[in-house]
Amino acid sequence: MSDGQLAINTEYTSPGLFFKNSLGDLVKVGPVHIGTTAPNSSPATGGQSGNSVGEQWIDTSGLNPVFKVWDGGAWLSEVAGASVVVSDSAPGSPSAGDLWYDSSTSSGGGRLYVYYDDGNSSQWVDAAPQGGGGGGTSVTVSDTAPASPTAGDLWYDSSTSSGGGRTYVYYNDGNSSQWVDAAPQGGGGGAASPWTTTGSDIYYNTGKVGIGSTSPSAELEVQAALSPEVQIRNTTTSSYSSLNLAEVGDSGTFVINRLGSTSAATGGPRAGQIWNSANAPIVFGTNGAERMKIASNGYIYMYSVYSNAVAGTYRDVYVESGGFVGYLSSVQAHKTNIQPIEDVAWLYSLSPVSFNRRKKDEEGNYTDEFYDQNEYGLIAEQVEPVAPQLCFYDIDEETEEETLAGVHYRQLITPMLKALQQANERIETLEAKVAALESP
């Protein structure tokens, strides 16, 4: 026989259609055996009693039928993927790579089909070779894919590399063509999965993952025509949903949390959290430039605020001891224990000075370096014994001890206004006396 020639064996123990492949082997291409036991248990060469290379068998002995191919020494099959169904009608809700043997006696019956689905089109593709019920053209058993295939051709990959030991059917609809993995894997899948399972874990570390993208540019890329969305949902109301960004070998992490509806964690129920557990800042930027930074010690830097003038109406901003930022209201409803000021003589005991401010290092400690701008003000240590109500203090959270921190300069405005009024009253009194003395 020459390569590609067909032979029909009529010997009753192993009837079927055989053809000679390019390797010189006789390959049995039909019919497909269906049953609970393997056909012809004694291996032999093609055309004689026994199994032949390429012979196909749908093993129905288990819960799920398994498609198997004889490689010359054993029946090969997969164990974790697509399903095989033997029925008079096509199975419902198939997955790519699923096999269906049409057991009906109508047109198309007695054939093997593989389900093709590339995300754009899907259909049952006739995988039945010539002589086994109709439809196909050729079956090849080799280490490499056959050249110049036609739609419906079968190829059994006899290599030991990845993808070896599987049966493929050639799909061609005029627009696209490829070898489709038809190796069933016991219950719902098809082609070999790139994912690896370890216990209840699954991982993939040899490339990028695209959702809605055929050529992802990042480890995970999501594309959609309208409002692509990634959701992380927590099923426990007392816990939280979390996006955790970390470096391998580094204990510090950057975390974005959303607390559950009954969570007692910092912020309270449904709070959003941003944490950097490393000794490093959180930086905010726009248009490629850093705009704001929260340093690891809690200091807040807003770089563009100082150089931008405000216009229109404005209010002074204050920081409350608990960290609240806002303005001070002067309406009467905001105040209580209202009393007039009488004694402001202590103003004359204050000692105004000029000075330069010292710079701090990264740990917040004062250095011998200072800023060039000369300023005017008071020394808190000198003000405290004269007017302690003008001073403010830092409080240690653990010991609750107070440390003198500065002077409320705004608190000087009203006493100075009172002193000015008192001085004006004295001036008016003196002017009246002078005027009386000068009168004839």
- The string of pLDDT tens digits covering residues 206-237 is 888 888 888 889 988 988 888 888 888 888 89
Per the model's pLDDT, the better-predicted residue between 172 and 323 turns out to be 323
d(CA 367, CA 361): 7
Higher pLDDT, 113 or 335: 335
Token look-up 């105004």 returns 352
H/E run at residue 241: strand 240-246
Q: Can you give the pLDDT at residue 232?
A: 86
Residues 6+ apart with CB under 8 A from 178: 170, 171
Find all residues with CB under 8 Å of 380, minimum gap 6, and list them.
Answer: 391, 404, 405, 406, 407
Asked if 27 contacts 54 with a C-beta cutoff of 8 angstroms, the reply is yes
As a whole number of angstroms, the longest Cα–Cα distance in the chain is 157
Under 8 Å CB-to-CB from 314, ≥6 apart: which residues? Answer: none
pLDDT of 350 above 60: yes
Q: What percent of the chain has pLDDT over 70?
A: 77
Whether residue 310 is predicted with pLDDT greater than 90 in this model: the reply is no
pTM of the model: 0.50
Q: Tell which residue, 146, 189, 188, 190, has the closest CA to residue 170.
A: 146
Alpha-carbon span 92 to 124, nearest angstrom: 12
pLDDT reported for residue 3: 61
Apex 157 CA angle, 153 and 159, nearest 5: 160
Per the model's pLDDT, the better-predicted residue between 270 and 157 turns out to be 270
Between 165 and 348, residue with greater pLDDT: 348
| CB of 87 closer than 8 Å to CB of 100 | yes
Which of 311, 243, 245, 299 is CA-nearest to residue 272?
243
Structure tokens at 255: 């975390």
pLDDT-above-90 percentage for the chain:
28
Q: Using CA atoms, how far apart are residues 204 and 90, in angstroms rounded to an integer?
A: 33
Burial 352-371, CB ≥16 within 10 A → b, else e:
eeeeeeeeeeeeeeeeeeee
Q: Comparing 40-54, 114-128, 175-189, 321-335, which segment has the lowest mean pLDDT?
A: 40-54
- Above 90 in pLDDT, residue 52? no
H/E stretch holding 240: strand 240-246
End-to-end CA distance of the chain: 154
Bridge partners for 17 per DSSP: 8, 30
Residue 253 backbone phi and psi in degrees, to 5: -130, 155
Given this model, what pLDDT does residue 332 score?
Answer: 93
> For position 108, what pLDDT does the model report?
61
Paired residues of 360 in beta bridges: 366
pLDDT of 149 above 90: no
What is the model's pLDDT at position 135? 44
Contacting residues for 385 by C-beta, under 8 A, at least 6 apart: none
